[in-house]
Amino acid sequence: METLVIHTKNSSQTQEVKDLLQKMNVKIEVFSQNSMLQEELPQYVTKLMAKAIDEADNNKLTPNETFLSETKEKYK
């Protein structure tokens, strides 16, 4: 299974693509570009990203195994 991103030029073309995919029994999910750009990340994700950036800046990178076990423990 693959995920495709299709950029249509106008609403008419969008509808044609949707109709075609529905006829082919292809599951589709529609997201507007604005909704995807404005979506906020969950707080736990931003905390982990901030930690990773800080560690990288200070050459204190955490091994993957340690990171995974700490994350599982914190966010049970």
Whole-angstrom Cα distance, residue 73 to residue 70? 5
Q: Which pLDDT band, with edges at 50, 70 and 90, does 2 fall under?
A: confident
Query: What is the span of the domain harbouring residue 54?
Result: 43-74
With residues binned 3-state (H G I as helix, E B as strand, rest as coil), the percentages for the chain, rounded to 5, are 60, 0, 40
CB 14 within 8 A of CB 8: yes
The total number of structural domains that make up the chain:
2
Same domain, 29 and 54: no
Per-residue pLDDT reduced to its tens digit, 30-52: 776 666 556 677 888 888 888 88
Whole-angstrom Cα distance, residue 3 to residue 16? 19
pTM above 0.75, yes or no: no
CB 48 within 8 A of CB 54: no
Same domain, 50 and 26: no
Per-residue pLDDT reduced to its tens digit, 59-68: 888 788 988 9
